[in-house]
Amino acid sequence: MSGNSGADAEVIAQEVVQMGNLRGFELVLGLLCCVLMLLIVGLTFIEVFMRYLLAKPIRGAEEIIQYAMGTMIFAALPLITARRGHVTVSLIEDAVKGGLKRVIDVFVDLCSLAAVSIIAWRLFIDAGGRLDSADATVVLNWPRAPLVYVMAALAAITAVVQVGMLWRRLRGRK
């Protein structure tokens, strides 16, 4: 490590958090989420139509939707985190001001970081187990490990974004 690691960390945190530096990353994840949502809605509509009007359900539609849903949720997580778009409950927000509010905000960011880091860690462990056991879907026989690895990687990316958000908060910026 260089002797200027604090400055290096600040530059990295700024790159992770600043919207201008995330444009390409946001665009890719945002488009992925849009395509997956379109797939989920379109396939669900067509599947219901085929199943109930023509009595010919689409083979494996439920598994395709499950894969798309899992990927979409975890692809949206870094985007929501970078924008501080998570659902919040502000029971005491109006009553708390100044330094105490900052302490509470840092605590919440630390809890969020811990939660998403644990999720990423456990997903990586789960993916390894699924890979070893050759776990696959019932109808399409798709291996589940790649999906869980993707979800774990996206959770890990979210943790990195959360570190940037925490660093920014500690530096006195929202």
Q: Between residues 118 and 84, which one has the greater pLDDT?
A: 118
What pLDDT is attached to residue 144?
A: 95
Dump pLDDT digits (tens) for 44-88.
999 999 999 999 999 999 999 999 999 999 999 999 998 887 777
What pLDDT is attached to residue 5?
A: 53
What pLDDT is attached to residue 20?
A: 47
- The C-alpha atoms of residue 117 and residue 125 are separated, in whole angstroms, by 12
Lowest mean pLDDT among 25-29, 31-35, 43-47, 67-71: 25-29
Q: Tell me the H-state helices in the chain.
A: 5-17, 23-53, 61-82, 98-133, 145-170
- pTM for this model (two decimals): 0.80
1 has a pLDDT exceeding 50? no
Q: How many domains does the chain have?
A: 1
The torsion angle over the Cα atoms of residues 120, 121, 124 and 129, rounded to 10 degrees, is -140
What pLDDT is attached to residue 2?
A: 47
